[in-house]
DNA sequence: CGCGTATATTCGTACTGTTGAATATAAATG
DNA sequence: CATTTATATTCAACAGTACGAATATACGCG
């Protein structure tokens, strides 16, 4: 399939967003904000299997959002662009606004939360 | 399935990102930045079918990113949170950085683009 | 009410993404 | 070189998403 340059850019833009479109990957990125972290630590922090952590990290690596550096047998992942966290924070702000406007939804969450 | 309050927030955060994870929806949001726009206009600008435009707008509506207002038979969609565009701009900046670092990839795009 | 226009929804299909289990690789260590 | 530890990859099942075509709804108008 042929695609224009502009279309390709929008595709990549969307793929970047897609990398953020999973709760576990969001948690990973915020965790990485505190510094380079081994895969095992991330898996433990998120309460997920090691293979699953590797899979999510592979997505973030593919999209260029993190880099991996080996030290002995352990691999430290590192956040590459702090701006990604800024973007996530902006969206979190939007979410907060939305929930505040929409009382019913907040209440539903409260129900679930207790 | 039981989910904690915090987990639910991250789920919603991810769903917000997911709403942005499609080239056509990104284009729609940028188009809406210029002001309220009827569905038909959006479909035409993006070169997609009307039903497809409605489907994508439904996603944006579900995530609370746009509102719809009827005027006669036409429905005007409106951007609700400008911060969403800021977030998209940040990510576009990240994309630009990434492409500049990675010359090979840029060149591949150039190949495709010509 | 019947018709036209604008938008929404439903449906089938093809594609993509997420997961755990199992297996593979890579490095350190004895 | 065999073993252990940390990470990566593959696989199969399942869930979710995107699309066009067809159909439904909603409004205005005569």
As a whole number of Å, the CA-based R_g of chain B is: 17
Q: Which residue is nearest to nucleotide C26 (CA to C1')?
A: A73
Regarding whether B45 and B23 lie in a shared domain, the answer is yes
The string of DSSP letters for A51-96 reads HHHHHHHHHHHHTTSEEEEEETTEEEEEE--HHHHHHHHHHHHHHH
Average pLDDT over residues A29-58: 98
End-to-end CA distance of chain A: give it in Å, rounded: 50
Regarding whether A100 and A44 lie in a shared domain, the answer is no
CA A89 to C1' D11 (Å) is: 36
Regarding whether B15 and B51 lie in a shared domain, the answer is yes
Regarding whether A86 and A75 lie in a shared domain, the answer is no
Average pLDDT over residues B7-26: 97
Q: How many domains are contained in chain A?
A: 2
Regarding whether B92 and B53 lie in a shared domain, the answer is no
Strand D contact at CB of residue B31, distance < 7 A:
no
* DSSP one-letter code for B66: E
Regarding whether B2 and B37 lie in a shared domain, the answer is yes
State residue B93's pLDDT score. Answer: 97
CA B35 to C1' C1 (Å) is: 37
Structural domain span for residue B23: 1-80
d(CA B103, CA B94): 15
Regarding whether A72 and A102 lie in a shared domain, the answer is no
Residue A36's domain is classified under what CATH number? Answer: 1.10.10.10
Regarding whether B97 and B55 lie in a shared domain, the answer is no
> Residue A110 pLDDT more than 60?
no
Regarding whether A29 and A73 lie in a shared domain, the answer is yes
Using a CB–CB cutoff of 8 Å, tell me whether B87 touches chain A. yes
CB contact under 8 A, A10 and B23: yes
pLDDT confidence bin for B48, thresholds 50/70/90: very high
């Amino acid at each position: 399939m042929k695609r224009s340059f502009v279309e390709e850019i929008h595709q990549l833009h969307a793929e970047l967003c897609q990398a953020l479109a999973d709760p576990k990957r969001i948690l990973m990125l915020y965790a990485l904000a505190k510094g380079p972290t081994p895969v095992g630590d991330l898996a433990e922090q998120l309460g997920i299997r090691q293979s699953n952590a590797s899979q999510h990290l592979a997505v973030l690596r593919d999209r260029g959002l993190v880099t991996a550096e080996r030290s002995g047998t352990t691999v430290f992942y590192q956040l590459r662009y702090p701006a990604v966290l800024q973007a996530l924070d902006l969206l979190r702000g939007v979410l907060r606004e939305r929930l505040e406007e929409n009382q019913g939804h907040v209440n539903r969450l409260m129900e679930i939360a207790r």
